[in-house]
Structure 1
Amino acid sequence: MPITVHCVRHAEGEHNLEPQDFTLLDPKLTPTGQAQCLALLNSGQIDQTRICVVAASPMFRTLETAHLVFGPALGNGHCNSQIQALADAQEVCDYPFNTGSDPLVLQARVSAANIPVDLSRVPEGWNTKPRGSRYFPARDTLETRARACREQLLELGRQLEKAGVVDPEIGLVAHGGILHFVTGDWEAAGTYSGTGWRNAEARSYTLIHTVEGASGEVKLVETVGSQERRGKRLNTEVTPEQEQGQEQLFELAMEAWENQGLHPLPLTSSAE
């Protein structure tokens, strides 16, 4: 049975306003961002009656976005009523605006905002990114946690299937940079600051679990309907040639991000 994941980039946050303020810590959505969430909700692009679980990065703007975009799903009676916060879905870099709050502080913030969140997958230290740590912004660590994020989505989907849900659908709200790592799609990744995703943009994927290798691999393949909405070429599978092309697109994205003034990503998190 297919598992569908609707990936959403968070709506406009305070740090997205020009000129960008890199010193903001875990910023919230702007009024425009809140309106973007409601526009996505009202577009009907995502069938809220089909959503069975909503996951999100533990950053406040992603949790806000998840609550506004997937509010009807969270209250539809068969969806988990709490947003599942996934630390591995946090943003790429270690700028203050991409640094989350300590779990106790975050719990207080979401409680005050009446956002229902399960923080059981958010460990202490998730918001620190020293070299050598799981969350240090380097290509190897980012690919590792993107893989872990896909595996967590698969686990959530398998749990739904075991509960009798047919063709489960999951909502994931994350960030423009990490979504490229999670989806493996680097096309036009330098269109905006550090991403090819617009604020509050949604794309839909089928979660594929291959059986190659010792434990297999989990991939996300964009659905035909999602590609059509974006006016993209139609691909229903990922070929080796396409993966090689993605490597070239990744290099172009890294060059574009550096030209935008963002910190370059080292290949490895190990000490130099």
Structure 2
Amino acid sequence: MPPTLVLIRHAQAHHNVDRKYHSMPDPELTETGIQECLELREHLKATLPADRKIELIVVSPMRRTIQTCLTALDWLIEAGVPVIPDARWQETQAKPCDTGSPVSVLTTEFPTIDFSSLDPVYPDKTSPAGAAYRWSKPAILARGQSALADLYQRSEDVIAVVSHSGFMRTAVAGRWFQNADYRIFDFEDRTGKDESEPYRLVEWEVTKKNGAMGRSREEPVELGEGLPEEN
């Protein structure tokens, strides 16, 4: 059986407060964001069924997602659940606020995270070397499928992913995510399907309306919606 996915959007960061902070490189969480993480922490602990266990955490290697992970999921990390930073789960655009920091900086700021498996091209999104992360519909949809294909093959019962609204909405789930909200998904049954068929997710009823925290917009979004064909 493929794992169940708990897809979590990071808590409030500075660029979520005012558009003037869109020029801020890789912004951190606000004080409100830290409080949201604490609320998220307690909600997650109370919501998942007792017989289901988060056995892996995948995190976008950006400051706001790592901070959300370390604050909201500390109880899992302290219990030995591994954390894997994965560049495929970073945000979509190449604006300063959506571009990550060099690994040399991250390893200093977050010494408890092992970045050795991170794609060495990170945080490049604009050069030919970073083409897989460029701001275009083909690249972003392909990145979403690559990320899902990797998780589909894993053996863990439940995997928590801390990522970004734009990427999860347009490339993975087709659903809206407010800051520090989450949704729970199973993989659609692939029995009898060709390998070329895309990976799709089926959301749990408990989060299907406005997200688990009740903060997110209800209407679904077509994958790829609003993305440029090429950039």
CA distance in 1, matches of 2:148, 2:9: 16
- The answer to whether the 8 A contact 2:59-2:69 is kept is yes
- The answer to whether the 8 A contact 1:209-1:218 is kept is no
CA distance in 1, matches of 2:184, 2:171: 13
**2:169 corresponds to:** 180
Residues 228 and 33 of structure 1, relative CA distance in 2, 3 Å threshold: same
The within-5 A match list for 1:260-271 is 265-268=227-230
**1:239 corresponds to:** none
Moved more, 98-107 or 135-144: 98-107
**2:55 corresponds to:** 52
CA distance in 1, matches of 2:63, 2:189: 30
**1:30 corresponds to:** 30
Residues 180 and 97 of structure 1, relative CA distance in 2, 3 Å threshold: same
The answer as to 2:187 corresponding to 1:207 is yes
Aligned-residue CA RMSD (Å): 2.4
Letter in 1 for 2:161: L
Q: How many residues are aligned here?
A: 218
**2:216 corresponds to:** none
User: What are structure 2's unaligned runs of at least 5 residues?
Assistant: 213-219
CA offsets 1:177-207 (integer angstroms, 9 cap, x no match)? 0011343415xxxxxxxxx321001100012
Residues 222 and 2 of structure 1, relative CA distance in 2, 3 Å threshold: same
> TM-score under structure 1 normalisation?
0.72
CA distance in 1, matches of 2:224, 2:99: 24
Paired residue for 2:116, among 108, 114, 120? 120
Q: CA deviation at 1:136?
A: 0.8
- The answer to whether the 8 A contact 1:103-1:123 is kept is no
Kindly, what percent of the aligned residue pairs are identical?
26
SS in 2 for 1:134: helix
Q: CA deviation at 1:228?
A: 5.4
Q: CA deviation at 1:51?
A: 0.9
User: What are structure 1's unaligned runs of at least 5 residues?
Assistant: 161-167, 187-195, 232-244, 255-264
CA offsets 1:138-170 (integer angstroms, 9 cap, x no match)? 000000101111122223x32x3xxxxxxx011
The within-5 A match list for 1:143-158 is 143-155=141-153, 157-158=154-155
Letter in 1 for 2:142: T
Letter in 2 for 1:126: Y
Q: CA deviation at 1:131?
A: 6.0
Residues 199 and 47 of structure 1, relative CA distance in 2, 3 Å threshold: farther
**1:262 corresponds to:** none
SS in 1 for 2:183: strand
Q: CA deviation at 1:230?
A: 4.1
- The answer to whether the 8 A contact 2:187-2:200 is kept is yes
Q: CA deviation at 1:46?
A: 4.1
SS in 1 for 2:118: coil
Residues 230 and 103 of structure 1, relative CA distance in 2, 3 Å threshold: closer
Letter in 2 for 1:144: A
Letter in 1 for 2:144: A
Letter in 1 for 2:60: S
Higher relative contact order (CA 8 A, sep 6+): 2
Residues 46 and 27 of structure 1, relative CA distance in 2, 3 Å threshold: farther
**1:15 corresponds to:** 15
> TM-score under structure 2 normalisation?
0.84
Which structure's CA Rg is the greater one?
Answer: 1
